Amino acid sequence: MADGAVAEHFDIVIVGAGIAGSALAGSLTDASLRIALLEALPRERLLGDEKNDTEGVQHYDARVSALTESSRNFLQAIGVWDCLDPNDYLDYAHMHVWDALGTASIDFDASEVHQPALGTIIENRKLLRAAHGALSDQENLSMFWAEAPSKMEQQASSGVPQTLIHTQNHRFSADLVIAADGANSKMRTMLGFESREWDYGQHAIVATVRTERSHQQTAWQRFSEDGPLAFLPLADDAETGHYCSIVWSIESDLAQKLFGLSDEAFARELERAFESRLGRIEAVSARQMFPLRQRHALDYVKENAVLVGDAAHTIHPLAGQGLNLGLKDVALLSTILQEAAGQHLSCSHPLLLRRYQRARKTENLAVMATMEGFHRFFGASDPGVRALRNFGLSWVNKQSLLKKAMIRQAMGV
């Protein structure tokens, strides 16, 4: 668009309408805030075909998330959960974790903390559609599909710093720009945020599988020196079949080989790696593969810009925490911005943005460090570490109070 064209002004422009960006937009309902949500993809590409008539393993989105109770509560509070059908998700009550190189295992059960579930498994596509469904009547929100910022400039209006955002078809000005454009965030770079990142040397293969036996409402995780393998429970029915979503994080060269196998050969490799805990793998969906990198932005806020979700941090999927952390960013940022609107403060007030950064960086870094510890501890093949791991798992499994604390921590409550 021509540089001279008049820019449309919004208090807040959110870039990226993934789960973090759309949940944030949906939570900012204060009528005094004018919000724009920009998404690079066209609507149908992001949300897919709503009347899905595929069957069996192809029926499911290969990407699913294990949500904590804290994430679910937040999504309920902002109306996203109401846009889901109860068949769209599955609560799981048990978790079984074991070490491939030893004999030890650990079990977590929701009943230990007097809860009906440890968490909820949901397909990303369904959650995203629900998040967008909740936005449909929001009067203070303007949605722009297939729009990505190509250039940004700083300007001031009556002494208040603003960002001028150019896209192919529009020009926007904003008091606050929020980057929610995911792990490979272009906004992070355009806005001049630095990040620290390194490669895990692993890729994650995700797919839906049908298994011979029921998953028993259990999330299964096997650790081996090649990387963790998770089976997350989906629909379970004696007639239509038992389904799980798998996340197989594995050393990159081996992942490439596994990814290239025929469905039948892949199913046999998967069955072997999973020690046939759920019997035969009867069918496998189309697979997807993701390189695994850890990233953390050195700062989450600048003068009038903020990072949320994967744009601020990405972690190893081994404990299914990435989106849960992103939703906690969203929940806190939303509370702070709504409070500011109530007090007629600018939404880019430095004290408010610093409050967000302080709280979220502290928690995100702590979780990332814990995950890094798990990753190294469970990936080590050194005999001393293996012995310690076996002893540790057996010991923790018998410590009822410690397990309760771990369950509560993992549930985010």
Ligand X SMILES: Cc1cc2nc3c(=O)[nH]c(=O)nc-3n(C[C@H](O)[C@H](O)[C@H](O)COP(=O)(O)OP(=O)(O)OC[C@H]3O[C@@H](n4cnc5c(N)ncnc54)[C@H](O)[C@@H]3O)c2cc1C
Give the nearest residue (CB) to ligand X: 18
The single residue among 12, 35, 38, 407 that binds ligand X, judged by CB under 6 A, is 38
| 241 is a site residue for ligand X (CB under 6 A) | no
Residue among 68 and 104 whose Cβ is closer to ligand X: 68
Secondary structure letter of residue 403 according to DSSP: H
- Least distance (Å) from ligand X to the CB of residue 44? 13
Question: Which of the residues 386 through 405 are near ligand X (CB under 6 A)?
Answer: none
Of 220, 235, 205, 234, the closest CA to residue 274 belongs to 220
Residue among 66 and 278 whose Cβ is closer to ligand X: 66
| 39 is a site residue for ligand X (CB under 6 A) | yes
Residue whose entry in the numeric block shows the structure tokens 């001031």:
156
Report residue 55 as tokens: 């069957």
Q: How many residues bind ligand X (CB under 6 A)?
A: 34
Residue whose entry in the numeric block shows the structure tokens 């429970």:
233
| 35 is a site residue for ligand X (CB under 6 A) | no
| 326 is a site residue for ligand X (CB under 6 A) | yes
Give the angle subtended at the CA of 188 by the CAs of 187 and 191, to the nearest 5°. Answer: 75
**SS3 call for 359:** helix
| 20 is a site residue for ligand X (CB under 6 A) | yes
8 Å CB contact between 232 and 206: no
The single residue among 206, 267, 331, 341 that binds ligand X, judged by CB under 6 A, is 206
| 21 is a site residue for ligand X (CB under 6 A) | yes
**SS3 call for 215:** coil
Residue 258: left if φ>0, alpha if ψ -120 to 50, beta else—which one?
alpha
| 15 is a site residue for ligand X (CB under 6 A) | yes
The single residue among 26, 182, 227, 379 that binds ligand X, judged by CB under 6 A, is 182
Q: Alpha-carbon distance 326 to 71, whole Å?
A: 9
Question: Which of the residues 61 through 100 are near ligand X (CB under 6 A)?
Answer: 65-66
What's the one-letter identity of residue 230?
A: A
8 Å CB contact between 320 and 13: no
The single residue among 12, 14, 19, 110 that binds ligand X, judged by CB under 6 A, is 19
Residue among 11 and 310 whose Cβ is closer to ligand X: 310
Question: Which of the residues 303 through 322 are near ligand X (CB under 6 A)?
Answer: 309-310, 317, 320-322
| 290 is a site residue for ligand X (CB under 6 A) | yes
Residue among 182 and 227 whose Cβ is closer to ligand X: 182
| 247 is a site residue for ligand X (CB under 6 A) | yes
8 Å CB contact between 11 and 142: no
> Rounded to 5 degrees, what are φ and ψ at 290?
-130, 135
Classify burial at 274, counting beta carbons within 10 Å of its beta carbon; exposed 0-12, middle 13-18, buried 19 or more.
buried
Residue among 41 and 345 whose Cβ is closer to ligand X: 41
8 Å CB contact between 52 and 356: no
- Least distance (Å) from ligand X to the CB of residue 410? 11
- Least distance (Å) from ligand X to the CB of residue 388? 27
- Least distance (Å) from ligand X to the CB of residue 386? 26
8 Å CB contact between 206 and 62: yes
| 170 is a site residue for ligand X (CB under 6 A) | no
Residue among 79 and 320 whose Cβ is closer to ligand X: 320
What is the distance in angstroms between the CA of the first residue and the CA of the last residue of the chain?
Answer: 47
| 17 is a site residue for ligand X (CB under 6 A) | yes
Residue among 65 and 163 whose Cβ is closer to ligand X: 65
CA distances from 393 to 62, 386, 397 (A): 30, 11, 6
Binding interface with ligand X (CB under 6 A): 15-21, 38-41, 46, 65-66, 148-149, 180-183, 186, 204, 206, 247, 290, 309-310, 317, 320-324, 326
